[in-house]
Structure 1
Amino acid sequence: MVEKYYIKGVDIDQNSIYCHHDLMGELLIPTHKHEKSQFLYTEGGIVYVTTETKTYFLPARHFMWIPSGVKHSIHPSSEDVMMRNLYFPDEKNDVSFYKTEGIYPLTDLLLQMMLFTNRWNGNLKKGSRNYVIAKAIKAILPEICVNNLPLALPFPKDARLIKIIQHLEKNYQEPILFSDLAKKYGFTERTLHRLFHKDLGMSFIQFFTIKRMLKAIELMIEKKMTINEVAIAVGYNSVPTFSNTFYKLLGQRPSEYINGVEVLKTI
């Protein structure tokens, strides 16, 4: 059996920057970790990245930074999703940005820099032209990536909350009142509010809003619905309210997001 690049190739040369661009080719990259930090950008579909504590949603025209040593698995929506990876060795002068998991929009500047990497693959030797370009990509990230987007949902641990989350996942398109939810599962509103914060680190409204927006992104990427139809499908009767909520989460309007999907393929 040939070992996958992410199991063996990435860390063979501890001083190199490793590059891998290819179709996913599989619907699951099993749990693994690297000695290098990972810059992951994808095109052509949806990718979920699962760590030990959270599931991250990586939409088109965004990238995820995964620090070294973080165990993670990758779940693309299709084998045809394009994956673009750069793996960077840790350095003594690395700032806190490089030590934190996060999802960020791919700015126009980063997009242009990523175009230089399209034909790279394997180890980029220290001092080479490609290594210098890749190093510049890493160096600029803390300066231009200021919005770590909340495109992640934690795993509930409390059995009572697991049932509630399953209910929300099945009924994200319905208008669910917190008071009704508490009553349905035998809680007072105050007790359920505390449970959400203690177990998930966020409120019911925060969790349910992110859940709905992630579903909206899935529907928009499929391109089978208009923005109005997507808004209704995820429980919003008001398109302006949906658009404003989407903007607060991703920093762009739904129409802007759709126009930016798979942008590398058009250049």
Structure 2
Amino acid sequence: MKCGLTEENTGHFVDEISINAYVWYDKNWQHDDYEHKHERYQLTYVEEGYQYFHIDNKILLVPQNHLIWIPSGKAHKISSEAKTVNLMIALFKSVPKNDFYNHIHVFPAPNVLKEMILYASKWSQLITENEEQSTFLTAILNSLPSFCDENNSLQIPVPADNRLIPVCNYINSNYHDGFGIDELAELAHLSVRSLQRIFKHETGITIQKYMQLIRVLKSIELINDNQNTLSEIAYKVGYKSLSAFTTSYFTIMKSKPKLKK
């Protein structure tokens, strides 16, 4: 049993729940590290920690106080190195006729939506008919297109061209160090010009932008650990000053980095 669904075999869930929508609130969430799918639309709110969703050759980061919407039947895998992940999942059998619901979205939770989601947690694991629950979850569902202020910068593209995999792996492992484009070109057995052209074509972003994205996403992990100052985090992810890190972080996240209180 996972989120009210029965796992018939690895990664395939059977839906035996009769109601259209229900919620599953979980503190210290334990994810399964394999791809799975189910025939319900999924809204996940990360209350604490962070999660990576691996979907369609992309890795999407869902940080604290963010949501991800996943259409029905979409295969996905989840990973996280966070010590604690608290989240609430709402699963819907049917949705309004709006193209919004047919696509993946990652966005921060506005305060009013956050409060609505946390209120709905009182119905966690209730899978029998409840009029207030049904009305309230329908209100959340209908409001999502209006609340969605999507941040596509939280997506890490995964190139299909195998020549670029060593490049991405090297950046992911050495993002805190200084290295040149020449080194990356050697790994791919390409000229610098060819590497830059192919990388942009495959991922939609430049190598420099990819590096910035990885550094900022790694900083979110460190901020979540709450073991370092912002200056220490800036240095750990490869920035020479706090101001440079703050500027880069704001470019990606549209907000300034903050430590937990």
State whether TM-score is above 0.5.
Answer: yes
Residue 97 (1) aligns with residue 100 (2): yes
TM, length-normalised to structure 1: 0.85
Aligned counterpart, 2:79: 75
What whole-Å deviation, never above 9, does each CA across 1:119-168 have from its counterpart, x for those lacking one?
Answer: 21245667711111111111111112122332121223322211111111
Match of 1:233 among 233, 236, 259: 236
Aligned counterpart, 2:55: 51
Q: Distance in 1 between matches of 2:208 and 2:247?
A: 15
Aligned counterpart, 1:157: 160
Contact 1:36 1:67 in 2 (8 A): yes
Matched length: 255
Residue 148 (1) aligns with residue 146 (2): no
Q: Distance in 2 between matches of 1:67 and 1:14?
A: 19
Seen in structure 2, the aligned counterparts of structure 1 residues 170 and 196 have a Cα distance that, compared at 3 Å, is same
The 5 A counterparts of 1:1-267 are: 3-5=1-3, 7-8=5-6, 11-13=15-17, 16-23=20-27, 25-28=29-32, 30-77=34-81, 80-91=84-95, 93-122=96-125, 128-182=131-185, 185-255=188-258, 258-259=259-260
> 5+ unaligned residues in a row in structure 1: which ranges?
262-267
1:179 deviates by 4.6
Contact 1:27 1:79 in 2 (8 A): no
Q: CA RMSD in A?
A: 2.5
1:104 deviates by 0.6
Q: Distance in 1 between matches of 2:119 and 2:97?
A: 24
Q: Distance in 2 between matches of 1:94 and 1:229?
A: 48
1:108 deviates by 0.8
Q: Distance in 1 between matches of 2:166 and 2:58?
A: 18
> 5+ unaligned residues in a row in structure 2: which ranges?
7-12
1:38 deviates by 0.6
Q: Distance in 2 between matches of 1:27 and 1:67?
A: 19
TM, length-normalised to structure 2: 0.86
Identical-residue share of aligned pairs (%): 27
